[in-house]
C-alpha cells in the first residue's frame, strides 16, 4: 500500500510546538540498516513487521473489553491531557520523611476494564481524562496471553541478542483517549514500541535543553519544561532544542534507544489508541572512548545520586557542584 493511502490523519490533529523537528528514518523490517542504527543508539521506525501482528489485527476496544479479564487494571486519571509520570517512592510521607513534598498531577486508580471503557466511551470535553497502563502479566485473560505468545519473539529476540541488550523487563499495554499526552521523559531501558500516536524524540545530548528534574524528585527523568507553555525565562536553552518525530502507522514499530527522550501523543480527534511496548534492560556496557552521550547521562545520574546520598540534603548539591566547577572547569 502506498504511504499516501495509509495516511489516516492530517496535521490539524497534531499539537503545535515551538521547536524544529526532523523525521525519524523509516525502514522495512528486513533492512540491514536497522541494525546499524540500533548499534549507534539511534531511533528507527521499523515498518511492515509482524512483531505485534496479533495485537494489530485483533485488539479493538471491544476485544480488549471482553478479554482483558476481571482483575483491576492500572488507570491514570488526569484533569488535563497530560499524564506526567511520577515515582511514588520519592514523595514525602510518614514512611518516607526524606521524600519531596509533591502533589501528583494525576491520580492512579484500579479500574475494572468495563468501568474504564465506559469512561473512555462516554467522555465529554471538560471531564477528567483516563489512560490505562497495564503490565501484560498473568492477570490478563488467556486470549490476550495467547496473542502475546504469538508476537514475533524471534525478531525481537534476534535484535536483543545482536545488540547485547539485557532481559525483557516488561510489556506495558496502553489504552489512551484521543489527545492524551505522555510528556517528555527518558527511560533507562531499550524500548520497542508499537504506538499508533505521534512520537517526538530528542537525543541524549539534549539534556541541557530539556532540563530534567533532579534525580531525587518524583518527576526524575521527566523534563521540567511544559511543552504547551514553555517558560523561557526559567528554561532559556529550551529554545535550542532539536527533535525528531514520527507518526506511527498500523504495522510500524518504533525503536526508542535507551536514554532517548520521548514525548508520546495520541492524535486529536483520532479516536482511542492501543499501544504496547517492550522494555529491555541495558546490556553490559563497555567504556569505549570517546564516551557516548547516553553514557554521559548515566554518569551524571550516578554522580548526582552519590552527592545526594553523602550530603543528605538536595539543597547542598548545587552549591557544592558550583564551588567545584566555577572558575576551575569553566572552559
Interface ranges with ligand AKG (CB under 6 A): 174, 182, 187, 191, 193, 195, 262, 264, 275, 277
Looking at the Cβ atoms of 15 and 237, the one nearer to ligand AKG is: 15
Grid cell, residue 20, equals 524544529
Report, in Å, the least distance between residue 182 CB and ligand AKG. Answer: 3
Can you count the helices (H) and strands (E) in the chain?
10, 14
78 binding partner (options ligand AKG, Fe ion, none; Cβ < 5 to 8 Å by kind): none
User: Which residue number is nearest to Fe ion in terms of Cβ?
Assistant: 187
190 binding partner (options ligand AKG, Fe ion, none; Cβ < 5 to 8 Å by kind): none
Residues 23 and 25: their CA atoms lie apart, in Å, by 6
Residues 281 and 164: their CA atoms lie apart, in Å, by 10
Write out the H or E segment, with its range, that includes residue 77: strand 73-78
Identify residues 168-227 at the interface with Fe ion (CB under 5 A): 187
**Residue pair 102/44 in contact by the 8 Å Cβ criterion:** no
Looking at the Cβ atoms of 34 and 253, the one nearer to ligand AKG is: 253
Report, in Å, the least distance between residue 260 CB and Fe ion. Answer: 9
264 binding partner (options ligand AKG, Fe ion, none; Cβ < 5 to 8 Å by kind): ligand AKG
User: Which residue number is nearest to ligand AKG in terms of Cβ?
Assistant: 182
Largest CA distance in the chain: 64
Report, in Å, the least distance between residue 152 CB and ligand AKG. Answer: 18
Looking at the Cβ atoms of 48 and 187, the one nearer to ligand AKG is: 187
If binding means CB under 5 A, how many residues of this protein chain bind Fe ion?
1
Looking at the Cβ atoms of 134 and 191, the one nearer to ligand AKG is: 191
Residues 167 and 188: their CA atoms lie apart, in Å, by 13
**Residue pair 108/75 in contact by the 8 Å Cβ criterion:** yes
193 binding partner (options ligand AKG, Fe ion, none; Cβ < 5 to 8 Å by kind): ligand AKG
Residues 13 and 252: their CA atoms lie apart, in Å, by 19
Report, in Å, the least distance between residue 275 CB and ligand AKG. Answer: 5
**Residue pair 56/115 in contact by the 8 Å Cβ criterion:** no
Report, in Å, the least distance between residue 188 CB and ligand AKG. Answer: 10
Q: Taking the CA of residue 322 as centre, how many other CA atoms within 13 Å lie in the half-sphere pointing to its CB? A: 5
Report, in Å, the least distance between residue 187 CB and Fe ion. Answer: 4
Write out the H or E segment, with its range, that includes residue 300: helix 293-311
Looking at the Cβ atoms of 31 and 187, the one nearer to Fe ion is: 187
The Cβ of residue 16 has, within 10 Å, a number of other Cβ atoms equal to 8
Question: Where does this chain bind Fe ion (CB under 5 A)?
Answer: 187
Amino acid at each position: 500500500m502506498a504511504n499516501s493511502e495509509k495516511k489516516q490523519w492530517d496535521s490539524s490533529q497534531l499539537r503545535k510546538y515551538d521547536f524544529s523537528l526532523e523525521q525519524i528514518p523509516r525502514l522495512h523490517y528486513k533492512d540491514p540498516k536497522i541494525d546499524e542504527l540500533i548499534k549507534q543508539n539511534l531511533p528507527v521506525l521499523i515498518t511492515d513487521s509482524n512483531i505485534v501482528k496479533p495485537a494489530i489485527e485483533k485488539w479493538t476496544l471491544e476485544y480488549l473489553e471482553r478479554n482483558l479479564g476481571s482483575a483491576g487494571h492500572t488507570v491514570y486519571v488526569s484533569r488535563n491531557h497530560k499524564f506526567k509520570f511520577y515515582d511514588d517512592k520519592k514523595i514525602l510521607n510518614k514512611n518516607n520523611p526524606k521524600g519531596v513534598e509533591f502533589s501528583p498531577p494525576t491520580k492512579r486508580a484500579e479500574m475494572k476494564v468495563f468501568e474504564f471503557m465506559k469512561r473512555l466511551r462516554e467522555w465529554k470535553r471538560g471531564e477528567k481524562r483516563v489512560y490505562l497502563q497495564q503490565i501484560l502479566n498473568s492477570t490478563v485473560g488467556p486470549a490476550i496471553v495467547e496473542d502475546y505468545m504469538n508476537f514475533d519473539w524471534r525478531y525481537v529476540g534476534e535484535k536483543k541478542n545482536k545488540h547485547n541488550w539485557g532481559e525483557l523487563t516488561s510489556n506495558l499495554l496502553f489504552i489512551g483517549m484521543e489527545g492524551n499526552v505522555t510528556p517528555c521523559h527518558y527511560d533507562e531501558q531499550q524500548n520497542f514500541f508499537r504506538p499508533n500516536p505521534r512520537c517526538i524524540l530528542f537525543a541524549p545530548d539534549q539534556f541541557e535543553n530539556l532540563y530534567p528534574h533532579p534525580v531525587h524528585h518524583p518527576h526524575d527523568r521527566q523534563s521540567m519544561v511544559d511543552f504547551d507553555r514553555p517558560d523561557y525565562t526559567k528554561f532559556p536553552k529550551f529554545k535550542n532544542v532539536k527533535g525528531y518525530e514520527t507518526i506511527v502507522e498500523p504495522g510500524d514499530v518504533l525503536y526508542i534507544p535507551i536514554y532517548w527522550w520521548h514525548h508520546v501523543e495520541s492524535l486529536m480527534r483520532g479516536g482511542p489508541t492501543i499501544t504496547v511496548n517492550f522494555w529491555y534492560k541495558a546490556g553490559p556496557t563497555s567504556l569505549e572512548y570517546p564516551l557516548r552521550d547516553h553514557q554521559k547521562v548515566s554518569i551524571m545520574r550516578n554522580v548526582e545520586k552519590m552527592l545526594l546520598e553523602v550530603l543528605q540534603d538536595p539543597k547542598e548539591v548545587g552549591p557544592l557542584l558550583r564551588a567545584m566547577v566555577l572558575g576551575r572547569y569553566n572552559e
